[in-house]
Amino acid sequence: MAYTTENNQSGVMTKAIKEGIFAGVIALGMFLLFVGIETYQDINNQLVWRTRWGLLGVFVAVAAIGRFVTVGFIKPHLDSRKLAKAKTGVLEISDEKGFFRTHFLKIALIFLLCYPFLAMLIFGRQGSLKYVDNFGIQILIYVMLAWGLNIVVGLAGLLDLGYVAFYAVGAYSYALLSAHFGFSFWLLLPMAGILAALWGIILGFPVLRLRGDYLAIVTLAFGEIIRLVLINWTDVTRGTFGISGIEKATFFGIWSFDVGAANNFNKAWGLPSSSVYYKMFLFYIILALCMLTAYVTIRLRRMPIGRAWEALREDEIACRSLGINTVTTKLTAFATGAMFGGFAGSFFAARQGFVSPESFVFLESAVILAIVVLGGMGSLTGIAIAAVVMVGGTELLREMEFLKHVFGPDFTPELYRMLLFGLAMVIVMLFKPRGFVGTREPTAFLKERKAVSGSFTKEGHG
């Protein structure tokens, strides 16, 4: 299919117009009842319906024009580019990377370190609150959770659908121990991690003889059990009311961020009273926790245990024939992943000041798993990018006021969050079936470090 001659050009246009009209008709058929007609209850509580032809028109036009542009312009352009490349005989793969790609990690880290100050410079003290808290901290929590789950799913190949359980264990450990014993954040952070790891082992023992789908179902059930216990054990957890008034994190015990406290951080440094400084402090804590997770993951991958995890993902039977105790190997993967979930949970509790079972529903597990899969299993960079896209993207939807001009004043983009989330996933998976970063970095090499193509790595069978 070469689109080089003039004759073909008009042929393409008629084809594009035809396909555009066809797409429009299909969209009309599909959306006529879904979008074109709306039912609602009027003042008399009667169910009546009204039409929304304008919105329907927008949907149909998007489909028709989109198809027309794709067939008429984008596809011929791509084809001619491919053809030109094939003629020159230059392979698409090139080893040279730009400055940005080779130094991506350093640039990203420097940007993250400056981020709260940048936000404050640009948006002012109160304006930056949203960017530090809703975007910065929120995304980094998910980065940490996804990196933790990556150890279990991405490295060891154990499909865990109940990861949020360990997040909950961490959060409630902090909330309860701080309320009853008055322990500080810095003592409870490691304790929450250890408790979550313990739960990981307790869960792991009966479950790890299962494989694949069966393991996924049982971990899913475990996540739900933890949540239901939190709801129903009202004496301890106060059920659905949750635990509020959780103590804030302190500046290593030197300064407090409580407004009434004598050693208030803002007063001590002569800063105006604003919660933004606490948020900035939290931002750096979660950033440090993320770095710890990444450091441990990178180090562990080069240790025998990390290699055993990856070998387990590739072939469990071969592992056993090489004298690797698969049970303890799986348990350490579960416990390590759970520990980072516990860290993130206790941080979450300190940040919110309030925990309730609402925060630990299955959807959270699904989102974290989606981030891991989308980022490319096993790849820290890919997962971080996926977390930014997924969590940042859904947060960004709240800001999309201009969409109201397109879809009418009734359109609330937040409500379409999950729809767009799913759509984005489908699109990414179509073009990047192995996630953003599908290749795997080898942990040792003799002559040169060559990335392993995603087509060789396996996903694991539990």
Partner 1 sequence: MATGTTMTKDAILKVEHLSMKFGGLMAINDFSFEAKRGEITALIGPNGAGKTTVFNCITGFYKPTMGMITLSRENGNEFLLERLRDFEINKVAGVSRTFQNIRLFSGLTVLENLLVAQHNVLMKASGFTVLGLLGLPAYKTAAKEAIDKARYWLELADLIDRADDPAGDLSYGAQRRLEIARAMCTGPELLCLDEPAAGLNPKESLTLNTLLRTIRDGGTSLLLIEHDMSVVMEISDHVVVLEYGQKISDGTPDHVKNDPKVIAAYLGVEDDEVEAIEEKLDEGTV
Query: Which residues of this protein are in contact with partner 1, per CB under 8 A?
Result: 296, 299-300, 303-305, 307-308, 310-311, 313-315, 317-326, 332, 440, 442-450, 452-453, 455-458
Q: Report in angstroms how near the CB of residue 454 gets to partner 1 at its nearest.
A: 8
Closer Cβ to partner 1, 49 or 445, answer by number:
445
Looking at beta carbons only, is 126 or 325 nearer to partner 1? 325
**Closest approach of Cβ 314 to partner 1, in Å?**
4
To the nearest whole angstrom, how small is the minimum distance from the Cβ of residue 318 to partner 1?
4
Least separation, in Å, of the C-beta of 443 and partner 1?
6
Helix (H, G, I), strand (E, B) or coil at 39: strand
Q: Are strands 354-355 and 243-244 parallel, antiparallel or unpaired?
A: antiparallel
Of the candidates 167, 166, 150, the one whose C-alpha atom is nearest the C-alpha of residue 158 is 150
For residues 250 and 329, which CB has a smaller minimum distance to partner 1 in the complex? 329
Find the shortest distance in angstroms from Cβ 93 to partner 1: 15
Nearest to 372 by CA among 163, 111, 132: 163
CA dist., res. 90 & res. 139, Å (int): 40
253: region left, alpha or beta (phi > 0 left; psi from -120 to 50 alpha): left
Q: Which is nearer to partner 1, 203 or 311 (CB)?
A: 311
Q: Which is nearer to partner 1, 184 or 325 (CB)?
A: 325
The one-letter amino acid code at 100 reads F
DSSP-derived secondary structure for 261-312: -TTBHHHHTTPPS-THHHHHHHHHHHHHHHHHHHHHHHHHHTSHHHHHHHHH
Least CB distance to partner 1 at residue 291 (A): 15
Residue closer to partner 1 by CB (options 303, 363) is 303
* Whole-angstrom distance, CA of residue 157 vs CA of residue 25: 45
**Residue placing its CB nearer to partner 1 in the complex, 181 or 456:** 456
CA 242 – CA 263 distance, rounded (Å): 29
CA distances (Å), origin 89, targets 76, 84, 116, 123, 302: 20, 9, 48, 50, 39
Nearer to partner 1, 40 or 456 (CB): 456
Q: How far is the CB of 320 from partner 1 (least distance, A)?
A: 5
List, as own/partner pairs, every contact residues 225-230 make where C-beta atoms lie below 8 angstroms and the sequence separation is at least 24, other chains included: 225/165, 226/162, 226/165, 226/168, 226/169, 226/360, 227/164, 227/165, 227/168, 227/357, 227/360, 227/361, 230/168, 230/172, 230/357, 230/360
DSSP-derived 3-state class of residue 335: helix
CA angle 185–190–195, rounded 5-degree value: 115
Task: Please report how close the Cβ of residue 154 comes to partner 1 at its closest, in angstroms.
Answer: 12
Minimum distance from CB of 152 to partner 1 (Å)? Answer: 16
Closer CB to partner 1, residue 116 or residue 460?
A: 460
| Chain mean position to CA 365 | 10
Q: Which is nearer to partner 1, 9 or 325 (CB)?
A: 325
Q: Which two three-digit tokens encode residue 24? A: 């429009």
What gap in Å lies between CA 143 and CA 367, rounded to an integer? 11
Q: Tell the smallest beta-carbon distance from residue 198 to partner 1 (Å).
A: 17
Q: Which is nearer to partner 1, 18 or 458 (CB)?
A: 458
Nearest distance from C-beta of residue 321 to partner 1, angstroms:
5
